[in-house]
């Protein structure tokens, strides 16, 4: 909540500095011109029109904005676009193959009903993807730890855990 | 088709209203116990699961129209103030800024639901909107917000509800004579004579219980994207109620309803907070209309938490009286509700008090207090969650005073009839829920188990088991309409104007239509969320979507099937009632002969589409339809740290027929987890000195994470309630959250051996209780 009276009249910045950034998103190279303070989340959504990563809080509390940078799950709302120069980014739009075949994580989320409203789901799916990439057979506790940075207000957690268990090869 | 108008009664979140139902034709007969169903009742993954896991689902936040502006709000930092001057000249000159709206240039925007200017002169809470900046980018809008200069005249304020009701308290809204919700408050309900009941009691208990303000924190905040093309205003709104959006936006902008189109395909949760357009939707519409450019206004998380609602806080006082054998002689509840500045109603905190237990002498007193805080909004069983938590903990205290088992005390006072309306319940499976839950949690041995429980390294761990009851409506009602279209290839489109707010509405409606039409699920598509092409549907709230829309869809499908068989009968020269549609094929009922696909006949009709309408019929009269249930909780409390860990919840709910056990169980789990958050951690913190909310974010306002989730054991009592509607199904949105906080609170009391005084059961509250 901006609080105007406490601001001095010349506090607001005038011309914001811009910079060119090269990002490879879902395998496609992009060159975009962004304000240096623009977050990766805003760059993906506003500049590249990839709206799969969601703004949930804008301050690193909810995980709705999760994307993969070189396979690692990050909060894109806390990452500056200019800090991603030359990096390979995967968003939810890039997870299924180009012929539309779903990633096993996506299929498991549908089969186990690991989603309700679905707003947190892109972030949950990518967080799970990152976990399985570094640890293909996580224990329940490892799944819960890895997923604990992704809030779900609908409470799909038991089903997210079930999807994770199935992907990890645990008997259901 | 002759039209009939029938008067019926509809209960919505504890309030009963009379409703006129227009019926064209008749509903099909109820699916009873013996109905043979192929698709309804089977665990079915969501029909729109793919969109939701691929990023293909377009939420309101994701709408991007050419030339779209983005908005950011400047909000009052004062608990109570008057805005005397706004100087937006510097902001307006900043790069990318297209307009700054405020009281002195947009004071004519009236919120029809509050009858008040959106940019009001009087700002009755910290977070009330002062100005809205419209700019090309989010960063530019935020910058410009900080450059709007505002002069405020601050006014005295009050945020404590009990203080607000004192005669000398500052006025929350200066044009009102008092801070009561309205002149009808305090509101008293009375049956019998409570004072006499207390006098004749052999044992009495008095308990004070407070419940916090909990913010909804739907993952998608409130907001809308609006576009004006010179004739029609299209508004994409994150709403549970597209028809309410259309009505309010048309009124606010002085447009006809046929000039406003409200759309909501996907939304990131609502939980009761998203009825109507909210001020954000009105602002987006107003700005788009005025500037002639598409406008998106989505609230920030902080603004969401101060200005878009919360579960209102309560302070409740219970008095219970009983005879030695446990028979209740008196129940009294006095509730002070902290309703914020702009409240319009009082949550149903007394609903269960009036009817859960058999008692001749009952009094409830609701005191609604306005305070200089943001508005509350319905939040999943508003009032009932809080009321049941308070009452069920008081009942446990009474059981302790009587030396009686808490469950036995409840059974002793079991209400067989709806006492207030003096009529039977259509069905009450609460006794069964108690028995099943008790069995599964190990109720009989709970004291022995608690003694045996390993106390941990420091000797501080304790185990407790507690339970609470659930009661709610959930039978839905009219008006609700749907249309079924059979296309030339034998597939179907079901057209509704309902909303899927995350519960799986689209999936269950597709199941119902496919069942009735005799088509495979894949051959049915359900349209929803658009006032332009949809038919009227009620708001998605109050656990009424399935029970209202399901029967309408079923009737539309039944009529379409009849018409289709009529047509096929003509083509094959057979009576229509000798034919049937099974799995998309035409079958002779008697011989079982397969006669080709439905599509093979319909495609002979040169493009003709079979269309039929369905509507939800009247509710049953002279009985009360309820969902009943019970939950049992097992907790571990660390007496050293005050930490509570919920280990297990057993949930037994009767919601009638279960159309989709997969999404049903998701809803039950979701409700329990929200209830757990309310019980243990969710609490708005207000700085009493300044009247400002200190944790309007997801960092300091805690909601459950995956690591807080206990083992959840759901028992399905999947039995049609034939009084409810033609499906026999009731809603499941609210029931699961209702008993969770009470069950957890009672389990904690059992673990620590003392009564609890309120929620949330944070470590500091537990340590206080142990002092
Ligand atoms: S939006 Fe990035 S963590 Fe919430
Ligand atoms: S599915 Fe709604 S927030 Fe997770």
Together in a domain, B388 and B260:
no
Q: What is the ipTM of this complex?
A: 0.97
* CB proximity A17 to B under 8 Å: no
> What is the pLDDT, as a whole number, of residue B268?
97
Nearest CA residue ID for atom 4, ligand 2: A152
The residue ranking higher by pLDDT, A16 or B393, is B393
The pLDDT confidence band at residue B30, using thresholds 50, 70 and 90, is: very high
The average pLDDT across B486-514 equals 97
> What is the pLDDT, as a whole number, of residue B20?
87
pLDDT tens-digit series, residues B515-527: 999 999 999 999 9
* CB proximity B705 to A under 8 Å: yes
Chain B residues inside the 8 Å CB shell of A33: none
> What is the pLDDT, as a whole number, of residue B11?
80
Which residue in chain B has the smallest CA separation from A3?
B77
Per-chain mean pLDDT for chain B: 97
Together in a domain, B599 and B535:
yes
Mention every residue, 6+ apart, whose C-beta is less than 8 A from residue B266.
Answer: A117, A118, A119, B51, B52, B57, B58, B59, B60, B500
- Strand ranges for B93-196 from DSSP E: 97-102, 110-111, 116-117, 122-123, 129-135, 149-154, 187-191
Query: Is pLDDT above 60 for B123?
Result: yes
Are the C-beta atoms of B586 and B601 separated by less than 8 Å?
A: yes
Topology match between the domains A18-94 and A104-168: no
Together in a domain, B324 and B438:
yes
Percent residues over pLDDT 90 in chain A: 87
Percent residues over pLDDT 90 in chain B: 96
Together in a domain, B413 and B512:
no
The structure tokens listed for B565 are: 């068989």
Print burial letters for B129-163: b (CB count within 10 Å at least 16), e (below 16). Answer: bbbbbbbbbbbbbbbbbbbbbbebeebebbbbbee
B657 within a domain of the structure (yes/no): yes
Min distance A97 CA to chain B CA atoms (Å): 11
Are the C-beta atoms of B485 and B560 separated by less than 8 Å?
A: yes
The structure tokens listed for B388 are: 């049941």
Together in a domain, B384 and B410:
yes
Q: Which SS3 state, helix, strand or coil, does residue B343 take?
A: coil
Task: In whole angstroms, give the CA distance from residue B590 to residue B671.
Answer: 47
Q: Which of B46, B52, B302 to mutate to test the interface with A (most CBs of A within 10 A)?
A: B52
Determine the distance separating the centroid of ligand 2 and the alpha carbon of A150, expressed in angstroms.
10
Together in a domain, B702 and B755:
yes
Of B54, B267, B706, the CB nearest to A147: B706
Query: Is pLDDT above 70 for B493?
Result: yes
Are the C-beta atoms of A39 and A100 separated by less than 8 Å?
A: no
Query: Is pLDDT above 60 for B280?
Result: yes
pLDDT tens-digit series, residues B308-326: 999 999 999 999 999 999 9
pLDDT tens-digit series, residues B225-245: 999 999 999 999 999 999 999
Q: Which of B103, B219, B665 to mutate to test the interface with A (most CBs of A within 10 A)?
A: B219
Together in a domain, B611 and B686:
no
Task: In whole angstroms, give the CA distance from residue B53 to residue A120.
Answer: 10
> What is the pLDDT, as a whole number, of residue A14?
55
Please judge whether A35 and B663 are an interchain contact, meaning their C-beta atoms are less than 8 angstroms apart: no
Determine the distance separating the centroid of ligand 1 and the alpha carbon of A117, expressed in angstroms.
17
Q: Which fold has domain A18-94?
A: Ubiquitin-like (UB roll) (3.10.20)
pLDDT tens-digit series, residues B580-623: 999 999 999 999 999 999 999 999 998 899 999 999 999 998 99
B456 within a domain of the structure (yes/no): yes
Count CB pairs under 8 A between chains A and B.
220
* CB proximity B663 to A under 8 Å: yes
Selection from B250, B237, B284 nearest residue B530 by Cα: B237
Pocket perturbation via mutation, ligand 2, pick of A55, A119, A149 by most ligand atoms within 8 A of CB: A119
A99, B173, B238, B519, B693 from B121: Cα distances, Å: 57, 11, 27, 58, 21
Q: Which of residues 7-46 of B touch A (CB under 8 A)?
A: 45-46
Together in a domain, B441 and B525:
no
Please judge whether B143 and A12 are an interchain contact, meaning their C-beta atoms are less than 8 angstroms apart: yes
Together in a domain, B417 and B351:
yes
What are the backbone angles phi and psi of residue A122, rounded to the nearest 5°?
Answer: -55, -40
> What is the pLDDT, as a whole number, of residue A4?
41
B527 within a domain of the structure (yes/no): yes
Which residue in chain A has the smallest CA separation from B136?
A46
Together in a domain, B696 and B608:
no
* CB proximity B217 to A under 8 Å: yes
B196 within a domain of the structure (yes/no): no
The average pLDDT across B470-488 equals 95
The average pLDDT across B269-278 equals 96
Instruction: For residue B578, give its domain range.
Output: 3-59+476-615
Together in a domain, B588 and B631:
no
Ligand 1 pocket, residue A58 CB under 6 Å:
yes
> What is the pLDDT, as a whole number, of residue B16?
80
The average pLDDT across B110-131 equals 97
CB atoms within 10 A of CB B4: 12
The average pLDDT across B402-412 equals 98
The structure tokens listed for B60 are: 């309101």
Tell me the CATH number at B78: 3.90.1170.50
Task: In whole angstroms, give the CA distance from residue B322 to residue B404.
Answer: 12
The average pLDDT across B469-479 equals 93
Of A110, A158, A160, the CB nearest to B45: A110
The pLDDT confidence band at residue B12, using thresholds 50, 70 and 90, is: confident
* CB proximity B209 to A under 8 Å: no
Mention every residue, 6+ apart, whose C-beta is less than 8 A from residue A120.
Answer: A54, A56, A62, A63, A64, A150, A151, A152, A153, A154, A156, B219, B268
Tell me the CATH number at B733: 3.30.365.10
Percent residues over pLDDT 70 in chain B: 100
The average pLDDT across B1-27 equals 85
- How many domains does chain B fold into? 3
Query: Is pLDDT above 80 for B1?
Result: no
What's the CATH class of domain A104-168? mainly alpha
pLDDT tens-digit series, residues B36-59: 999 999 999 999 999 999 999 999
Are the C-beta atoms of B97 and B140 separated by less than 8 Å?
A: yes
Domain ranges of chain A: 18-94, 104-168
> What is the pLDDT, as a whole number, of residue A10?
47
> What is the pLDDT, as a whole number, of residue A15?
67
Are the C-beta atoms of B228 and B254 separated by less than 8 Å?
A: no
Residue B125 exposure: Cα atoms within 13 Å on the Cβ side: 25
Min distance B381 CA to chain A CA atoms (Å): 15
Pocket of ligand 2 (CB under 6 A): A 115-121, 152-154, 156; B 219, 269, 502
Min distance B150 CA to chain A CA atoms (Å): 6
pLDDT tens-digit series, residues B660-695: 999 999 999 999 999 999 999 999 999 999 999 999
The average pLDDT across B474-482 equals 93
Together in a domain, B326 and B471:
yes
pLDDT tens-digit series, residues B46-93: 999 999 999 999 999 999 999 999 999 999 999 999 999 999 999 999
B202, B483, B505, B566 from B561: Cα distances, Å: 64, 12, 22, 8
Task: In whole angstroms, give the CA distance from residue B767 to residue B747.
Answer: 16
Determine the distance separating the centroid of ligand 1 and the alpha carbon of B246, expressed in angstroms.
31
Q: Encode chain A (172 residues) as per-residue pLDDT tens digits.
A: 444 444 444 444 456 899 999 999 999 999 999 999 999 999 999 999 999 999 999 999 999 999 999 999 999 999 999 999 999 999 999 999 888 899 999 999 999 999 999 999 999 999 999 999 999 999 999 999 999 999 999 999 999 999 999 999 987 6
């Amino acid at each position: 909540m901006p609080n105007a009276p406490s601001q001095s009249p010349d506090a607001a910045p005038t011309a914001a500095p811009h910079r060119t950034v090269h990002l490879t998103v879902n395998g496609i190279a992009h060159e975009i011109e962004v304000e240096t303070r623009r977050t990766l989340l805003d760059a993906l959504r506003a500049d590249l029109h990839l709206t799969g990563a969601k703004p949930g809080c804008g301050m690193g509390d909810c995980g709705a904005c999760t994307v993969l940078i070189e396979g690692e799950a990050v909060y894109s709302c806390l990452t500056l676009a200019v800090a991603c120069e030359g990096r390979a980014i995967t968003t939810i739009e890039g997870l299924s193959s180009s012929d539309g075949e779903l990633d096993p994580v996506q299929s498991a989320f549908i089969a186990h009903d690991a989603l309700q409203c679905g707003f947190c789901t892109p972030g949950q799916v990518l967080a799970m993807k990152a976990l399985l990439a570094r640890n293909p057979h996580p224990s329940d506790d490892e799944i819960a730890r890895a997923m604990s940075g992704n809030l779900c207000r609908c409470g799909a957690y038991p089903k997210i855990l079930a999807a994770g268990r199935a992907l990890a090869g645990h008997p259901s | 088709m002759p039209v009939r108008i029938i008067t019926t009664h509809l209960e919505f979140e504890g309030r009963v209203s009379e409703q006129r139902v227009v019926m064209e034709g008749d509903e099909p007969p109820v699916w009873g116990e013996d109905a043979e169903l192929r698709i309804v009742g089977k665990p079915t993954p969501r029909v729109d699961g793919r969109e939701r896991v691929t990023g293909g689902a377009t939420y309101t936040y994701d709408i991007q129209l050419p030339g779209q502006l983005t908005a950011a709000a400047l909000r009052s930092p004062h608990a109570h103030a008057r805005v005397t001057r706004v100087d937006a000249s510097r902001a307006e000159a900043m790069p990318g800024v297209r307009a700054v709206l405020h009281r002195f240039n947009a004071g004519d925007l009236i919120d029809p639901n509050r009858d008040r200017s959106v940019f009001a002169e009087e700002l009755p809470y910290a977070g009330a909107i002062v100005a809205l900046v419209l700019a090309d980018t989010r960063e530019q809008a935020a910058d410009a917000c900080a450059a709007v200069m505002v002069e405020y005249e601050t006014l005295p304020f009050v945020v404590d509800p009990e203080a607000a009701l004192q005669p000398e308290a500052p006025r929350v809204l200066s044009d009102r004579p008092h801070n009561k919700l309205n002149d009808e408050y305090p509101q008293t309900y009375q049956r019998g004579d409570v004072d006499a009941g207390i006098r004749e009691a052999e044992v009495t208990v008095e308990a004070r219980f407070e419940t916090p303000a909990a913010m909804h924190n739907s993952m998608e905040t409130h907001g809308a994207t609006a576009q004006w093309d010179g004739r029609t205003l299209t508004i994409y709104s994150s709403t549970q109620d597209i028809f309410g959006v259309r009505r309010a936006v048309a009124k606010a902008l002085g447009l006809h309803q046929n000039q406003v189109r409200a759309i909501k395909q996907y939304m990131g949760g609502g939980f009761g907070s998203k009825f109507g357009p909210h001020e954000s939707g009105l602002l987006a519409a107003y700005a788009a209309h005025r500037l002639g450019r598409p406008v998106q206004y989505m609230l920030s998380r902080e603004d969401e938490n101060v200005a878009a609602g919360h579960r209102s806080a309560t302070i409740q006082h219970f008095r219970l009286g009983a005879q030695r054998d446990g028979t209740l002689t008196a129940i009294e509840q006095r509730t002070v509700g902290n309703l914020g500045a702009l409240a319009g109603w009082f949550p149903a905190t007394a609903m269960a008090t009036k009817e859960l237990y058999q008692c001749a002498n009952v009094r409830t007193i609701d005191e609604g207090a306005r305070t200089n805080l943001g508005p509350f909004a319905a939040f999943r069983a508003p009032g009932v969650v809080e009321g049941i938590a308070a009452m069920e903990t008081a009942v446990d205290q009474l059981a302790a005073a009587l030396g009686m088992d808490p469950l036995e005390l409840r059974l002793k006072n079991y209400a067989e009839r709806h006492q207030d309306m003096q009529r039977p319940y259509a069905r009450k499976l609460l006794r069964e829920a108690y028995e099943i839950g008790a069995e599964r949690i190990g109720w009989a041995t709970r004291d022995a188990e608690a003694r045996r429980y390993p106390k941990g390294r420091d000797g501080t761990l304790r185990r407790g088991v507690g339970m609470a009851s659930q009661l709610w409506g959930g039978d839905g009602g009219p008006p609700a309409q749907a249309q079924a279209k059979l296309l030339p290839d034998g597939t179907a489109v079901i057209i509704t104007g309902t909303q899927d707010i995350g519960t799986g509405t689209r999936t269950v409606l597709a199941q119902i239509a496919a069942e009735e039409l005799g088509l495979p699920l894949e051959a049915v598509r359900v349209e929803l969320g658009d006032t332009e092409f949809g038919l009227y549907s009620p708001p998605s709230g109050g656990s009424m979507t399935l029970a209202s829309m399901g029967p309408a869809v079923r009737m539309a499908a039944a009529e379409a099937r009849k018409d289709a068989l009529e047509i096929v009968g003509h083509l094959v020269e057979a009576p229509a009632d000798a034919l049937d549609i099974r799995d998309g094929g035409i079958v002779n009922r008697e011989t079982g002969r397969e006669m080709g696909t439905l599509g093979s006949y319909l495609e002979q009709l040169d493009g003709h589409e079979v269309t039929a309408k369905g509507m939800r019929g009247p509710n049953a009269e002279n009985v009360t339809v309820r969902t009943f249930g019970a939950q049992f909780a097992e907790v571990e409390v660390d007496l050293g740290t005050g930490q509570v860990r919920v280990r297990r919840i057993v949930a037994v709910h009767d919601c009638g027929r279960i159309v989709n056990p997969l999404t049903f169980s998701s809803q039950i789990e979701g409700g329990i987890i929200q209830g757990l958050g309310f019980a243990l951690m969710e609490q708005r913190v207000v700085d009493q000195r300044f009247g400002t909310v200190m944790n309007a974010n997801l960092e300091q306002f805690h909601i459950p994470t995956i690591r807080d989730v206990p083992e959840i054991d759901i028992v399905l009592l999947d039995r049609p309630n034939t009084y409810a509607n033609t499906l026999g199904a009731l809603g499941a949105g609210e029931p699961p959250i209702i008993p969770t906080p009470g069950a957890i609170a009672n389990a904690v009391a059992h673990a620590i051996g003392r009564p609890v005084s309120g929620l949330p059961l944070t470590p500091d509250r537990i340590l206080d209780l142990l002092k």
